[in-house]
Amino acid sequence: MSILSRIRPFVTSIPTRSKALWKRYRSLRLWQQVAIAALLLILLIGGVAFARSGATDAPSAKGRTVTLQTVRELSGGGSSVNLIGTVRSVTEANILAQTGGTVRAVRTALGKSVPAGFVIAELENAAERASVLQAEGAYEAAVAARSAQSLPDTQITARNAYRSAYTTVDTSLELYVDTFYGNPTAVGPDLLLYPDHDTAVHLSRERARIQTLMGQWESSLGSVDSRDPQTLLSEAETYTRTIETFLNELAAAANQNNSRATSAQLSALATARANVAGVLSSITTAKSSYRSGSTGATASADASVKQALGSLRAAQANLERTVVRAPIGGQVNFLPIRVGDYVTAFTHVATVAQNGALEIVVYVSENDRDLLAAGSAVLVEDTYEGVITSVSPALDPVTKQIEVHVAVTGASELVNGQSVHVSFPDLAAETNELPETEGPILLPLSAVKLRAGDRIVYTVDEESRLVAVSVTVGEVRGDHIEILSELSPELRIVRDARGLSEGQSVEVASAAN
């Protein structure tokens, strides 16, 4: 209480003393008032400037510690040769689509494990399935005919095949193909699909030409009995193959993304194509039977069965082309397709690899080929031990370098597709001098500073201040970048240029390799 009682009178007297001091200041002469005000202002500005200069100079007096290394050391030309390698699976398969079509089903997902032979995806294959069914029927009919067949009248069989071919093709055109066409136009019946203009006009003209061809075929039916059977069958085959080509072009237009073809139209078209394929198979069988009519009934029947079996195998092969299978067991690393996508032939649709068994592929110059041998030890990422498993005996035709395969021994955290550094210490041991770097110099990205107008590296002068050296850069390779301009291999530059500026005072520490 005694302290408060002493402070209270002092506090309460401050306003009174301030008024008295102000009155005394105002009582001074004008030049005295101005002098006192100027002196106070100078003291205030000086104090602020001193505070700012002290805050700025305090950190710079200490300086940042940097590490210097020669260009040779940073680019892998020291005690060992460092190269960039790519991690990949020892067993890997890139799967390509064997035919074009719309993806109907995808039966796995990215990252899933699949066994060998697993169906990864399936393309639209209604026509191929119909062809298989048609070929199965022809094969079963041939087998049944072989069991109880007498010597056939080959001429009657050939003429009946000619008439049957016309009936089947004509029915298929009217019932199934004409679902794609409307009213007649100047060039032909109007195509109800929406491909590009040239395709639409072409298909309309083709339908009109097919109609004329069918008229010619129909008019020749009256003279079948007086004509040579071999000529009839060849003529029927020519007509049918012309129609088959037309149906293939129509199918290509109907399967385009914006064709607006309905499922009923696509199904009808598949049936028509299957019928035409069956007619061709029947004509081929009739031609074979006619040519072998002089042989025994058993030989003719066996030939028909074998031919039907061949047609069945061909239909099954065409169906298999629409199925994407895994050739090996492994993990799905790449799967860009989805249901509804349209893929063309030879599109990369999946990659399956055994990610547990990895290797590293490195390319070295031909000068270093003799210094490498299978079984030599290497170091990966300065951490993992590895061993050379194979060295190519010739130059790669693309890279013009030697391909070297390296296996990583023991556990590692490498990932398939990763770029890694591989050190070959034995190269320097075999040669009693430091190897020269071929091609562009590779420096760590941290050693190159990317400024707005140029690219630089830092060295240090006698006064321990940073000096910028302008360089020209190329491609980025992993965590390194190509230096295209000339740099002395013995030039000592800052290992980490991040956060530094030219002229900055630094402290130099010894390089930690």
Residue 71 lies in a domain: yes
* Whether 331 and 478 share a structural domain: no
The pLDDT, as a whole number, for residue 82 is 67
Taking residues 489-504, what's their average pLDDT? 88
Q: How confident is the model at residue 239 (pLDDT cuts 50, 70, 90)?
A: very high
50-54, 68-72, 144-148, 434-438: the lowest-pLDDT one: 434-438
Q: How confident is the model at residue 14 (pLDDT cuts 50, 70, 90)?
A: confident
Taking residues 447-476, what's their average pLDDT? 88
* Whether 6 and 51 share a structural domain: yes
Instruction: Tell me which of 118 and 435 has the higher pLDDT.
Output: 118
**pLDDT at residue 151 above 50?**
no
Alpha helix locations (H) across 412-470? 425-430
Domain of residue 475, residue span: 64-75+439-509
* Whether 144 and 194 share a structural domain: yes
**b/e per residue, 160-174, with b = 16+ CB within 10 A?**
ebbeebbebbeebbe
Structural domain count of the chain: 5
**pLDDT at residue 441 above 60?**
yes
CATH of the domain at 111: 2.40.50.100
**pLDDT at residue 57 above 60?**
no
Q: Answer positive or negative: Cα dihedral of 437, 439, 445, 451.
A: positive
* Whether 367 and 475 share a structural domain: no
* Whether 264 and 118 share a structural domain: no
- Locate 244 and state its tokens: 């088959």
Taking residues 487-498, what's their average pLDDT? 87
**pLDDT at residue 340 above 90?**
yes
The pLDDT, as a whole number, for residue 96 is 94
Contact 68, 425 (CB under 8 A): no
Which positions ≥6 away from 13 have C-beta within 8 Å? Answer: none
**pLDDT at residue 104 above 90?**
yes
Cα 326 to Cα 336: distance, rounded to the nearest angstrom: 15
What percent of the chain shows pLDDT beyond 70?
A: 85
How many degrees, rounded to 5, is the angle at CA 213 between CA 212 and CA 217? 120
* Whether 262 and 223 share a structural domain: yes
Instruction: Tell me which of 25 and 402 has the higher pLDDT.
Output: 402
* Whether 309 and 329 share a structural domain: no
Cα 392 to Cα 107: distance, rounded to the nearest angstrom: 39
Residue 95 lies in a domain: no
Taking residues 255-280, what's their average pLDDT? 88
Backbone angles phi, psi at 249, to 5 degrees: -65, -40
Which positions ≥6 away from 326 have C-beta within 8 Å? Answer: 93, 95, 114, 115, 116, 117, 118, 120, 350, 352
Of 496, 508, 492, 507, nearest to 78 (Cα)? Answer: 492
The pLDDT, as a whole number, for residue 159 is 86
Residue 12 CB coordination number (10 Å):
9
CATH of the domain at 444: 2.40.420.20
Q: How confident is the model at residue 255 (pLDDT cuts 50, 70, 90)?
A: confident
- Locate 48 and state its tokens: 């602020």
Contact 148, 241 (CB under 8 A): no
* Whether 148 and 221 share a structural domain: yes
Cα 401 to Cα 391: distance, rounded to the nearest angstrom: 11
The pLDDT, as a whole number, for residue 376 is 82
The pLDDT, as a whole number, for residue 81 is 61
96-110, 115-129, 216-230, 433-447: the lowest-pLDDT one: 433-447
Of 354, 362, 371, nearest to 405 (Cα)? Answer: 362
Cα 338 to Cα 49: distance, rounded to the nearest angstrom: 68
The pLDDT, as a whole number, for residue 53 is 53
The pLDDT, as a whole number, for residue 334 is 92
* Whether 178 and 301 share a structural domain: yes
Across the chain, mean pLDDT equals 82
CATH of the domain at 410: 2.40.30.170
- Locate 116 and state its tokens: 């060998």
Instruction: Tell me which of 369 and 133 has the higher pLDDT.
Output: 133
* Whether 168 and 284 share a structural domain: yes
Tens of pLDDT, residue by residue over 62-80, are 568 888 888 877 775 544 5
Rg value, the chain, Cα? 43
Residue 113 lies in a domain: yes
**pLDDT at residue 344 above 90?**
yes
Of 76, 82, 83, 84, nearest to 489 (Cα)? Answer: 76
* Whether 157 and 184 share a structural domain: yes
Tens of pLDDT, residue by residue over 195-227, are 888 888 888 999 999 999 999 999 998 888 888
